[in-house]
A = this chain, B = another copy of it.
Amino acid sequence: MSCDLPIGVFDSGVGGLTVAKEIMKQLPSEQIIYFGDTARVPYGSKSKETVTMYSRQIIRFLLTKDVKAIVIACNTATAFALDTVKEEFNIPIIGVVKPGAKAAAKTTKNGKIGVIGTQGTIASGIYNDVLSGISENLHVYGKACPLFVPLVEEGWIDDPVTREVAARYINELMEKDIDTLVMGCTHYPLLRQVIRQIVGSEIDLVNPAYETARTLRMELMDRGLTSDSKRTCDHMFFVSDGAEKFRNFANTILPCEIIETKDVNIKTFE
């Protein structure tokens, strides 16, 4: 496999761009092929079977672009589909949950870790499973925050409504005396400032996007797949709906300008 092949990154929509951004920062020589499943967003309220089927279709699409590795930049899809697709496809596939969980385990001092995420991610108990595999002495408290994704998509980032919603969700976790909070949905780092205001300076915030990019870098190095090309923002973006709207949003987040986003009929990748 050639080192110069691109890396596939996918999410239910725009949230995974926080992961793509971290990859661009930590691995500036790599080309990214991003897919956002905007026709079927959100994944957080959907079933395991449905999200696994969607993930499988997207991986088949990314393989047509000759990617050398795939990052599932979505906690719900990682929780529901990662184990299954790792068995089905012969390519390195990295999720966002394990890197985030490992960082949280390293960070916590009192062993009490809060996790915020979608209904799907929290109900799956995946952070609990991974963290209890790391140490028996960790206590994990999960809280689903289903309004965070729509609030980000409405653009109400620094907003009293968002602060009130965030306080209600997170205060429940604060009462458990957590010292570490995992932002277990790729949209949530976009609300980092609001979340920071609520938790104060004593609680460590873990952003799995950062940890995932680190894990990817190590995985590529282990396999001798690191690219050393000089890149000039030749990343490619595909979505299942609303290419123009996606591009506008992406350009407010990413460090380099996206010129074009293409629509893909994703359900044909059966």
Which residues in A have some Cβ–Cβ distance to B below 8 Å? 38-41, 45-47, 50, 146-147, 149-151, 153-154, 156, 160-161, 164-165, 168, 240-242, 267
A154 to chain B, nearest CB (A): 5
Chain B residues positioned under 8 Å from A41 (CB to CB): 45
A177 to chain B, nearest CB (A): 26
How many angstroms between the C-alpha atoms of A39 and B46 in the bound complex? 6
A47 touches B164 (CB 8 A): no
A52 to chain B, nearest CB (A): 12
B168 touches A161 (CB 8 A): yes
**Chain B CB within 10 Å — which of A150, A160, A168, A267 has the most?**
A150
Copies in the complex: 2
B39 touches A50 (CB 8 A): yes
B146 touches A153 (CB 8 A): yes
A124 to chain B, nearest CB (A): 14
Chain B residues positioned under 8 Å from A240 (CB to CB): 50
Q: A150-B147, A154-B146, A267-B267 are in contact. Are A47 and B241 (CB under 8 A)?
A: yes
A241 touches B154 (CB 8 A): no
B45 touches A153 (CB 8 A): yes
Chain B residues positioned under 8 Å from A146 (CB to CB): 150, 153-154
Chain B residues positioned under 8 Å from A153 (CB to CB): 45, 146
- A sample of 14 cross-chain residue pairs with beta-carbon separation below 8 angstroms, ordered by A number, consists of A39-B40, A40-B40, A45-B242, A46-B241, A47-B241, A47-B242, A146-B153, A147-B147, A147-B156, A149-B150, A150-B150, A160-B164, A161-B161, A161-B165
How many angstroms between the C-alpha atoms of A161 and B267 in the bound complex? 37
How many angstroms between the C-alpha atoms of A149 and B150 in the bound complex? 9
